[in-house]
Amino acid sequence: MHYAWTAKHKPKSLAGIIGNADAVEKFAEWIKSWQKGIPKKRAAFLYGPPGVGKTITVEALAHDNGMEFVEKNASDYRTEDAINRFAGLASQYGSLFGGKRIILLDELDGITGTSDRGGVKAITDVVKAAQCPVVLISNSAYEPRFLTLRSYCLLIEFKRLAAGEVAKLLKLISQDEGIQADEAALRFIAQRSGGDVRSAVNDLQALGQSKKTLTYEDVSWLGYRDRQDSIFNVLRMILYGKTCSSAKQAANTADVDSDMLFEWIYENVPAHLTDPHDLADAMDALSIADVYRGRIRATQDWGLLRYVMDYMTAGVALSRKNTKPPGWIPFKFPERIQMLSRSRGERAMKLSIGAQVKRRNHISARRATTEVLPYLRIIFNNNPEMAAGLAKWLDLSQEMVEYLVDSEKKAETIIKLIG
């Protein structure tokens, strides 16, 4: 069975939290102050971008202090009555066995829209009278509707993590999963995440699951896409959508173009539609969408794009009739895009080596690539001394040397001989 690595490798205590040390310490001191009585600020308002550790910090601290942890998504409790039924009662009474309790209302952003019917006011009232710690979490604490609420809360900002901190965590997870991952690959994933740990771990799982090694080449193609968090949500809304309109609207929020979205859907449909009839209907819809894509390429009639979008979103969503809800299944990156990216990188490396040979031997780079490069491979894999001399004479970079040999050990030997 598949498990999300974000849950599997979630830290159980504050010692496992990475980054935002000042924010974590400030929050821990606030919780500690409750031991001396009810503090002036009865709620802590944790805010910052997604995936930086706000929620997990609250969970870990509750675990460390043996507190009953009561968590709800605030966006599910938009009205005054709903807030009072849950948070109001919970904040006034102790746990069933007389222990300490902490209440978390996550995703406070979700109640700042037009559908909020007294929800923020009710939360403010709960905070003013709370008899146990109340924690609020939002991406921003400075929404206009939070103006009064903020005055009753201790504001704690969580910031995006440095790429180095994220890379260290990815290395630990890789080791736990038995994956030998290149440092460059982990750094690349960390940098691409923009300080979002959840995003980085999702990337690592999607790329490294069921693998023994993870190289830079395995991840470098990620440069061809934007952050995956949005595309994952789009896929979920399409593959598990209940209506045509919701599936079509999901495509409008995608951070990839229509061709890339098609590849994502095509890659993931077989794993998520397990009933043969459902899968056949979905693939039929995708094949019709692909026909229209071909017509667009041939005629440049972009008015046909609406048919592409309809078939690959609504057509796929409506194909789900008999498939039973599966357990958690990870979304996979499009293999065809990954393969194209790898081959593009390989071609570029060949031409780079060909250009170095051309400079010394006065032949075309293409001829050097097709005629000379195969002999270089033989020499580099069988005669380190001669390979070192050739590498120095041709002024080959370390990456070029590594490309010409079939093992890291041979590459290291040659590079040492070059001096």
User: Do 163-224 and 20-157 have the same topology in CATH?
Assistant: no
Q: Which of 37-51, 129-143, 254-268 has the lowest mean pLDDT?
A: 254-268
pLDDT at 229: 46
pLDDT at 226: 45
Residue 287 pLDDT grade (very low, low, confident, very high; cuts 50, 70, 90)? very high
Q: Which CATH class is domain 163-224?
A: mainly alpha
pLDDT of 33 > 90? The answer is: yes
Contact 165, 18 (CB under 8 A): yes
3-state secondary structure the chain: CCCCHHHHCCCCCHHHCCCCHHHHHHHHHHHHHHHHCCCCCCEEEEECCCCCCHHHHHHHHHHHCCCEEEEEEHHHCCEHHHHHHHHHHHCCCCCCCCCCEEEEEECHHHHCCCCCEEHHHHHHHHHHHCCCCEEEEECCCCCHHHHHHHCCEEEEECCCCCHHHHHHHHHHHHHHCCCEECHHHHHHHHHHHCCCHHHHHHHHHHHHCCCCEECHHHHHHHHHCCCHHHHHHHHHHHHCCCCHHHHHHHHHCCCCCHHHHHHHHHHHHHHHCCCHHHHHHHHHHHHHHHHHHHHHHHHCCHHHHHHHHHHHHHHHHCCCCCCCCCCCCCCCCCHHHHHHHHHHHHHHHHHHHHHHHHHHHCCCHHHHHHHHHHHHHHHHHHCHHHHHHHHHHHCCCHHHHHHHCCCHHHHHHHHHHHC
Q: Which of 98-107, 183-192, 330-339 has the lowest mean pLDDT?
A: 330-339
- Tell me which of 83 and 105 has the higher pLDDT: 105
| Sign of the torsion angle spanned by Cα atoms 12, 15, 16, 18 | positive
Please state the domain extents for the chain.
20-157, 163-224, 241-333, 336-418
pLDDT digits (tens, 9 = 90+) for 104-133: 888 787 664 444 456 788 888 888 888 889
Contact 364, 373 (CB under 8 A): no
Task: List, edge to edge, every strand of the sheet that includes 43-47.
Answer: 68-73, 101-106, 134-138, 43-47, 153-157
What pTM, to 2 d.p., does this model score?
Answer: 0.54
Query: 20-157: which CATH number, 3.40.50.150, 3.40.50.300, 3.20.20.70, 3.40.50.11030?
Result: 3.40.50.300
Residue 156 pLDDT grade (very low, low, confident, very high; cuts 50, 70, 90)? very high
Of all residues in the chain, the percent with pLDDT exceeding 90 is 24
> Identity (one letter) of the amino acid at 207?
L
pLDDT at 26: 95
pLDDT digits (tens, 9 = 90+) for 339-362: 655 556 667 778 888 888 887 877
Can you read off the two tokens belonging to residue 334?
Answer: 């499009």
